[in-house]
Amino acid sequence: MLIIFLLTILGAAFSFAIKGKRRDYAIAASGIFLALTVIYSVIRFHSGYTGGIISQETFNLASSIGIVFSTGVSGFSDALLILSAIVIFLSVIITEKGRYGESLYSYILITESGLFGILISRDFLFFYIFWEVVLIPVYFIVAQYGGMNKDSVSLKFFVYTHIGSVFLLLSIFTVYTFHYESTGVFTFEMGQLMVSTYFAKIPAFWMYFAFFGFLLAFLVKMPSFPVHSWLPDTYEAAPYPGTVILSGGLSIMGGYGLFGILMPVYRSMGTGILDILMALGIISLVYFSLSAMMQQSLKRMMAFASAAAMGFVTLSFGAGLVESGYQASLELAGGMFQIVAHGLIMALIFSTLYYIYKSTGHEATHSLGGIFREAPILSSFLLAGLLASLGLPGLAGFIGEFSILVGVFGAIGWFILIVIFAMIITASYHIWAAQKSLYGPYNERLGAIRDADRPTTVKLMGMLIVIFALGVVPNLIYGLLVTYIGGIL
């Protein structure tokens, strides 16, 4: 895995040297990375994975102060690696020739290596560096190729998420320092720092300080209710390939932070924090669903839908750790599955919207209307994406939402009805959006529009097949997630 990661860095760096054919290069590179990641996962995870971290490698850089580059992959991060490779590949191939400048492709490739870096780093120093590395290319993608208000929005995105990162840094140094205090060893290794036995030794105040720092950083990325306001603006202003990356690639960061990094120390967390997380999850779910309902632009509506889907993830993290027995495993695995499913589904929705926008020039529900008549293929893909997003069984979204919903009763009791209410609202506005934009009499003012051509159909179909496959055979990754949880609980 490390080799693949280094290749992504090389690939990204090399892309700057290419003139003229950078799109083809990026397609080839991200395709190769995707293939390599899949091959790697099949070899290492197809059988014999028993939980924990595998493929561990360590490089001492300055070991006296704990600066070590160590890597490793768990079942969960492997699933996310595949997801981000798919999403990046998709975001590259949906761009059309000559629409965007050459640098977009370099930024996308840098994002890919940043994401890979986050997912395979097992020490906080490099984790943090890659955490920041991801922000920069995305900032440039929004700032250079964005739509309305791209300057202020990209700045907002950057500053907002950066505030989260600052807290992440503070927390990292808190745990780093106390580790030195208690053992006399400098280390950034997650394997050393994120263990319950060690956490129990930190003074209570600083332990909570560290927790809240981590949580704030991850919840901003998630995003969760009070710290979300970068999200709709950024999603809306970003160019469509950027939105695909944001929704499919960057949204995993918060979830990975919770499930990949914080979960091993859940015993120190206490029910207080978990209750807060559950509450935030439910509030996000309701709040984003209700806000989404009134949005005119499909892109912005789906941005809120994406945020609401991530509310499920926060909820499942809190609830799963409160519970015990088989429902806890179902709940947590469901939360992780939801991250993957949500990434794929949102990538499909936003890429379909991109094609619809390209052929009609509109993305607001009221400016479209009846386009099923003229563009049945694109409309069917959008409908499929919307149905997947509202959790229709047979598609990937259902497995996550089902696991979360069925597992959650033990933790929240009859509050489940609030979740149900939010899900009804979700179904309503998804269907309402489909009805308004796709069905009914054709909006003649749009003139003649083009339907998807064959290459487009193949791209979107590939995505839909992945979503469908995960919905019908969830054990492709579900088993890995359950094993991963088994190693921690």
Whole-number minimum distance, CB 167 to other proteins, in Å?
Answer: 11
Cα–Cα nearest to 87, from 103, 108, 101, 72: 108
Phi, psi angle pair for 21, to nearest 5°: -110, 35
Structure token digits, residue 406: 């069925």
Q: At what angle are helices 266-293 and 298-322 packed, to 10 degrees? A: 150
Q: How far is the CB of 28 from other proteins (least distance, A)?
A: 26
Residues 6+ apart with CB under 8 A from 267: 196, 199
Q: Enter the DSSP assignment of 96.
A: P
326 near other proteins (CB under 8 A) = yes
CA distance 103 to 303: 25
User: Is residue 35 close enough to count as binding other proteins by CB under 8 A?
Assistant: no
Q: Is 200 in the site for other proteins (CB under 8 A)?
A: no
Instruction: List, as one string, the DSSP characters of 339-382.
Output: HHHHHHHHHHHHHHHHHHHHHHS--BTTT---TTTT-HHHHHHH
What is the footprint of other proteins within residues 90-119 (CB under 8 A)? Answer: none
Point out which span in 89-97, 163-171, 237-245, 450-458 binds other proteins (CB under 8 A): 163-171
Closer residue to other proteins in complex, CB, 196/435: 435
486 binds other proteins, rule: CB under 8 A: no
Helix axes 326-360, 396-412, angle to 10 degrees: 140
CB 296 within 8 A of CB 343: no
Are the beta carbons of 372 and 450 closer than 8 angstroms?
A: no
**Interface residue with other proteins, options 189, 233, 236, 363 (CB under 8 A):** 233
- Choose between 89 and 178: whose C-beta lies nearer to other proteins: 178
- Is residue 474 involved in binding other proteins (CB under 8 A)? yes
Scanning 38-46, 240-248, 255-263, 403-411 for contacts with other proteins by CB under 8 A, the matching segment is 403-411
Shortest distance, position 413 Cβ to other proteins, whole Å: 9
Binding of other proteins by 214 (CB under 8 A): no
Taking CB under 8 A as the rule, does residue 301 contact other proteins?
no
The single residue among 90, 133, 210, 252 that binds other proteins, judged by CB under 8 A, is: 133
* Residue 158 in contact with other proteins, rule: CB under 8 A: yes
Does 482 sit near other proteins (CB under 8 A)? Answer: yes
Residues 106, 16: contact at Cβ < 8 Å?
Answer: yes
User: Is residue 479 near other proteins by the rule CB under 8 A?
Assistant: yes
Site for other proteins in 350-379 (CB under 8 A): 370, 372-373
